[in-house]
Chains A and B, each alone.
Chain A
Amino acid sequence: MSNTSVAKKNPVGSFFSAVGNVFKDIGVIFVQGDWRTKISYLIMGFGQIMRGQFLRGGMYLSIEVLFIWFMTSFGSKYFSKLGTLGTIETYKKNRKTVYGDHSFLILLFGLLALFFIIFLLFCWYKNIKDNQKEELILKSGKKLPGSKADFLSLFDSNFDKTLLALPVTGVFAFTVLPIVFMICVAFTNYDATHQAPTKLFTWVGFENFKNMFSFGTGGFGRTFGGVLLWTLVWALLATFIDYFLGIAVAILINKKGIKFKKFWRTCLVMTIAVPQFVSLLYVSKLFDSAGIINGTLMKWGIIDSAIPFWTDPLLAKVTIVVVNIWIGIPYLMLMATGLLMNIPADLYESASIDGATPWQMFRHITMPYMLFVTGPYLLTSYTGNLNNFNVIYLLTGGAPKSMSYTGGAGATDLLVTWLYKMTINDTDYKMAAVIGIMVFIVTAVISLSVYRMLPSVKDEEGFQ
């Protein structure tokens, strides 16, 4: 009982008490258990097999065998070097190259081994608990389920485990391990001059984070601040300008008396039909200082010298936002068209009977409804725009560059495009990993805090 009350008050405390319970269990079961249980502490699955549960016991045993095989043949060699990421340098023997430790593989397989160890400990604990459970069942005079019943339960009471086994393994191998790997890289000096397999890299603690927030010469602080600010402003502008203009266009086209509605919609939707990779590169050329827009204006004598659409920092930002409106409106228009038709007509009727003006109806009926329904969409769209790689990279590639920014960043770079350039052009993996972590923190903080404030989350039944 005391446990549950602690859990409500203090999650950290409850975690430690849970850990304490685990150790207590391990000790108590060992003391109270019979000899089969005691041997199971060393040979996993022994107790189960002795009690006739061959499938279950065999599984535990095979996990242990697999683990021992993995560690002796492969894992321990990498795991033992995880602390240093390798010490043997590559050297030359006559003209032949003898490669030393491969820091990259040590980090990767070392982490894999670490996860395997954690998995084994978990299985070991389950194995002990299993033994205890079986002893209790036998003591109470009941019979244990046989191997066949165990197997069949995988399609019945344990069907969830069968279904989730593959997805969980996949998520671990392709999402969790890479993310943990990337986070670890942020704490190493893995960059162009520490390239595996020829050179070793090693742990440097918080050095890279210090560099990211240092404002001296060569420090990334000023650049990071500038890029982060533009990233946030961009996401705000890109999301909300598109949103309101999209709704406006939808209302406009829906209005009675507008002819050729389908034609207008088709025109707008055409931008979706052409892949962004094509249309954005084309638009980028269009606004180039020698592009068709500047060229035509100059030929007509309207301007004297080219408008620096992509080379002036402020104008480049404005141009990007404008181009993004052109791409973004059609999606919002389609969505808003559907939603607007869903607003109960009686709301408008009663409003007009009360003498409300169209603007009042828009402000007090249409907008609250739209915001309520599209709140989660706005949030995902905002976080999506924080990382809107395509638009920025294809339009400007982050340019114009300036000496006030370090690390190859430009005035229109988002954190992601900067990260990309750092990885691909400068092979500066350590700083790119730090930026990756920063992107995660920014995205997570914004989404979580905004999500809690959304009307559709706070008040689920607001518009029923």
Chain B
Amino acid sequence: MKKKLVSVLLAAAMSTSLLVGCGEEAAQTVQETAETVQETAQETTEAVQETAEAVQETAEEITDYGTGEIKIWVADAVVDFTNKQVADFIAANPQFAGYTVTVEAVGEGDAASNMITDVTAGADIYGFAQDQTARLVAAGALEEVAPENVDAIKSQNAAGAVVAATVGDTLYSYPMTADNGYFLYYDKSVVTDPSTLEGILEQCEAAGKNFYMDLTGWYQVAFFFGTGCTLTYDSDNDGNFTGCNVDYDSDKGLVALNEMIEVAGSKAFQPGSSAGDAVNYAAIIDGTWDASTVKDFLGDNYACAKLPTFTGSDGATYQMSGFNGCKLLGVKPQEDENKLAVCDALALYLTSKDVQLARYNEVGWGPSNLEAQADDAVKADEALSALSEQFAFTVPQGQYPGDYWTNAEALAGDVQNGLQGASEDDVKAALKDFQEKIAAAR
């Protein structure tokens, strides 16, 4: 069985790599011949650039971008939308007409892991969630944003989204949405006051309903950051982690961990953050992507709110915090500078204010563009307004290494088992152990 599995995996890996190898070689020879031509072309454009901006615009129109194929990976929900936008883009920019663009449905999570597994076979432009940024940069799957666009992107998008797209001090991707965060969905008829965690749990328990919250890495920071702990990682421009700033092993951290243990000990508590898998719930901590699922389930009793406060083991009241983040659009490093220019322009267009707003109207993805966020339709969205209320208490999600997520998941496991009813010393020891492990994560 195992032999079979491994050999099948390896055979698959081999055959893909063989294909890739051939494709790449062919591309290389073509590219090498084109290289000299390109360089001279580029030198001329550079010279023109230096003279004046007005001239540069005309020069750009003259530039022959050649022909090629561009592959885009986006989530299933926005494939049609993206196709339409790409068609508009090509129509508006006839100089790129030589490129055929194909849009494929690859979810954000799969896109990131596929890119990491095999960069050469991956898409040229792809959407992903911000927690993958560092991994993608480290695997060489993200090209830096063209220098001329950096300032505009930084000024037009929400600060959190820009942080998420940045590794070291380099902007690597284009913010597409700023709705990657979590807040409280609840059943109005069961939970009358969603302002305190204790109140919510009590009312859920009394009604025999479930309270869903995930305690893994992305969600557990609601407690740790809520009590004032910090956790950030330093990374260099290549996506390598160089240091960790953490103060979990402290009184504040202890309060947070105790609260997690208490919440997990409630009989209304269920681990999970996927509304589609949740059953019989009166409250769930989830993100905007599940808004329609929750709405269908709760019907008229559907309501959203920012995350509640909780009373810690030290008697003080803390507001639950969390990460805020976004979906990003990335461009793969290209061996052809012209194609890269087209990809840059296309990615920039697909994340522009108008397209973000159109995307919101079409599929409900909350925009990261500040102007688009100020739009009336966006402001009227119940889930998005709960999220933006919660965003006031959250921390922009920077880059975290894979080991952090692995260890945080392990802590979540312990919180629900080994640490239930454990002595204070054991809890402290677990906290110390956790801090040591995540501080060593690279």
Chain A interface (Cβ within 8 Å of chain B)?
Answer: 90, 94-99, 102, 104-105, 108-109, 174-175, 177-179, 181-182, 192-193, 195, 197-199, 217-218, 289-291, 295, 298-299, 304-306, 308, 311-313, 384, 386-389, 399-403, 405, 407-408, 410, 416, 420, 423-424, 426-427, 436, 439-440, 443
Partner of A104, one of B9, B11, B17, B140: B17
Q: A217-B437, A304-B267, A305-B267 are in contact. List 19 more A-B contacts (CB 8 A).
A: A94-B42, A95-B340, A99-B24, A108-B14, A178-B10, A179-B3, A181-B10, A192-B135, A197-B140, A217-B436, A291-B279, A389-B1, A400-B417, A401-B413, A403-B407, A410-B413, A416-B1, A424-B113, A436-B2
**Residue B120 at the A interface, CB < 8 A?**
yes
CB distance from A232 to the nearest CB of B (A): 14
Q: A182-B6, A198-B119, A384-B1 are in contact. Are A408 and B406 (CB under 8 A)?
A: yes
**Residue B247 at the A interface, CB < 8 A?**
no
Partner of B7, one of A104, A178, A298: A178
Chain B interface (Cβ within 8 Å of chain A)?
Answer: 1-3, 5-7, 9-11, 13-14, 17, 21, 24, 42, 113, 116-117, 119-120, 135, 138-141, 143-144, 146, 208, 210, 240, 267, 270-271, 278-280, 333-337, 340, 402, 406-407, 409-414, 416-418, 430, 433-434, 436-437, 440
CB distance from A224 to the nearest CB of B (A): 16
Instruction: State whether B7 touches A174 (Cβ < 8 A).
Output: yes
CB distance from B11 to the nearest CB of A (A): 5
Instruction: State whether A403 touches B410 (Cβ < 8 A).
Output: yes
Contacts of B208 in A (CB 8 A): 298-299
Contacts of B278 in A (CB 8 A): 290
CB distance from B54 to the nearest CB of A (A): 23
Instruction: State whether B417 touches A402 (Cβ < 8 A).
Output: yes
Contacts of A109 in B (CB 8 A): 21
Contacts of A423 in B (CB 8 A): 9
Q: A94-B42, A178-B6, A290-B280 are in contact. Are A401 and B412 (CB under 8 A)?
A: yes
Instruction: State whether B140 touches A389 (Cβ < 8 A).
Output: no
Contacts of B340 in A (CB 8 A): 95-96
Instruction: State whether A198 touches B140 (Cβ < 8 A).
Output: yes
Contacts of A407 in B (CB 8 A): 406
Docked pose: A387 CA to B7 CA in angstroms:
14
Instruction: State whether A98 touches B335 (Cβ < 8 A).
Output: yes
Instruction: State whether B417 touches A95 (Cβ < 8 A).
Output: no
Instruction: State whether A95 touches B337 (Cβ < 8 A).
Output: yes
Instruction: State whether A313 touches B417 (Cβ < 8 A).
Output: yes
A-B contact pairs, 29 of them (CB 8 A): A94-B42, A96-B334, A102-B21, A109-B21, A182-B10, A192-B116, A198-B119, A199-B138, A217-B436, A218-B440, A290-B270, A290-B278, A290-B279, A291-B279, A311-B416, A387-B2, A388-B1, A389-B2, A389-B5, A401-B409, A403-B411, A403-B413, A403-B433, A403-B434, A405-B410, A407-B406, A408-B406, A416-B1, A436-B2
Contacts of A175 in B (CB 8 A): 7
Look across to chain B and name the residue whose beta carbon is closest to the beta carbon of A99: B335
Docked pose: A95 CA to B325 CA in angstroms:
28
Contacts of B335 in A (CB 8 A): 96-99
Docked pose: A1 CA to B153 CA in angstroms:
84
Docked pose: A181 CA to B440 CA in angstroms:
31
Instruction: State whether A289 touches B418 (Cβ < 8 A).
Output: no
Contacts of A402 in B (CB 8 A): 410, 413-414, 417-418
Instruction: State whether B270 touches A289 (Cβ < 8 A).
Output: yes
Look across to chain A and name the residue whose beta carbon is closest to the beta carbon of B441: A218
Docked pose: A311 CA to B402 CA in angstroms:
23
Partner of A399, one of B3, B116, B139, B413: B413
Partner of B210, one of A90, A290, A311: A290
Contacts of A178 in B (CB 8 A): 6-7, 10-11, 13-14
Docked pose: A443 CA to B278 CA in angstroms:
40
Closest 10 CB pairs of A and B: A198-B140, A178-B10, A401-B413, A97-B333, A305-B267, A387-B2, A387-B1, A195-B139, A403-B410, A400-B413
Look across to chain B and name the residue whose beta carbon is closest to the beta carbon of A311: B416
Instruction: State whether A179 touches B7 (Cβ < 8 A).
Output: yes
Docked pose: A199 CA to B119 CA in angstroms:
11
Docked pose: A436 CA to B9 CA in angstroms:
12
Instruction: State whether A95 touches B406 (Cβ < 8 A).
Output: no
Q: A403-B411, A408-B406 are in contact. Are A195 and B5 (CB under 8 A)?
A: no
Instruction: State whether A443 touches B337 (Cβ < 8 A).
Output: no
Look across to chain B and name the residue whose beta carbon is closest to the beta carbon of A96: B337
Task: Please report the number of residue pairs spanning A and B whose Cβ atoms sit closer than 8 angstroms.
Answer: 152
Contacts of A98 in B (CB 8 A): 335
Contacts of B267 in A (CB 8 A): 304-306
Choose among A198, A386, A443 the residue with the greatest number of B CB atoms under 10 Å from its CB. A198
Contacts of A424 in B (CB 8 A): 113
Docked pose: A175 CA to B11 CA in angstroms:
8
Contacts of B414 in A (CB 8 A): 402-403
Contacts of B6 in A (CB 8 A): 178-179, 182, 436
Docked pose: A194 CA to B146 CA in angstroms:
25
Choose among B10, B340, B414 the residue with the greatest number of A CB atoms under 10 Å from its CB. B10
CB distance from A396 to the nearest CB of B (A): 11
Contacts of B117 in A (CB 8 A): 427
Look across to chain B and name the residue whose beta carbon is closest to the beta carbon of A405: B410
Instruction: State whether B2 touches A416 (Cβ < 8 A).
Output: yes
Look across to chain A and name the residue whose beta carbon is closest to the beta carbon of B12: A178
CB distance from A60 to the nearest CB of B (A): 28
Look across to chain A and name the residue whose beta carbon is closest to the beta carbon of B239: A193
CB distance from A388 to the nearest CB of B (A): 7
Contacts of A217 in B (CB 8 A): 436-437, 440
CB distance from B10 to the nearest CB of A (A): 3
Instruction: State whether A426 touches B1 (Cβ < 8 A).
Output: no
Choose among B143, B402, B430 the residue with the greatest number of A CB atoms under 10 Å from its CB. B402
Docked pose: A380 CA to B24 CA in angstroms:
43
Look across to chain A and name the residue whose beta carbon is closest to the beta carbon of B338: A96
Instruction: State whether B10 touches A416 (Cβ < 8 A).
Output: no
Partner of B14, one of A177, A198, A426, A440: A177
Instruction: State whether A97 touches B1 (Cβ < 8 A).
Output: no
Partner of B417, one of A198, A298, A311: A311
Contacts of B113 in A (CB 8 A): 424, 427
Contacts of B416 in A (CB 8 A): 308, 311, 400
Docked pose: A395 CA to B218 CA in angstroms:
24
Docked pose: A94 CA to B45 CA in angstroms:
13
Choose among B120, B240, B406, B411 the residue with the greatest number of A CB atoms under 10 Å from its CB. B406
Instruction: State whether B409 touches A408 (Cβ < 8 A).
Output: yes
CB distance from B433 to the nearest CB of A (A): 6
Docked pose: A217 CA to B439 CA in angstroms:
12
Contacts of B434 in A (CB 8 A): 403
Instruction: State whether B17 touches A105 (Cβ < 8 A).
Output: yes
Instruction: State whether B2 touches A181 (Cβ < 8 A).
Output: no
Choose among A178, A199, A386 the residue with the greatest number of B CB atoms under 10 Å from its CB. A178
Docked pose: A387 CA to B2 CA in angstroms:
6
Contacts of B412 in A (CB 8 A): 401
Contacts of B440 in A (CB 8 A): 217-218
Contacts of A403 in B (CB 8 A): 407, 410-411, 413-414, 430, 433-434, 437
CB distance from B396 to the nearest CB of A (A): 24
Instruction: State whether B334 touches A443 (Cβ < 8 A).
Output: no
CB distance from B107 to the nearest CB of A (A): 15
Instruction: State whether A97 touches B143 (Cβ < 8 A).
Output: yes
Docked pose: A90 CA to B335 CA in angstroms:
11
Choose among A179, A195, A403, A443 the residue with the greatest number of B CB atoms under 10 Å from its CB. A403
Choose among A105, A295, A401, A410 the residue with the greatest number of B CB atoms under 10 Å from its CB. A401
Look across to chain A and name the residue whose beta carbon is closest to the beta carbon of B144: A95
Look across to chain A and name the residue whose beta carbon is closest to the beta carbon of B333: A97
Docked pose: A418 CA to B337 CA in angstroms:
42
Docked pose: A99 CA to B336 CA in angstroms:
12
Docked pose: A414 CA to B118 CA in angstroms:
27
Docked pose: A29 CA to B263 CA in angstroms:
84
Instruction: State whether B146 touches A95 (Cβ < 8 A).
Output: yes
Instruction: State whether A94 touches B21 (Cβ < 8 A).
Output: no
Choose among B6, B279, B335, B336 the residue with the greatest number of A CB atoms under 10 Å from its CB. B6
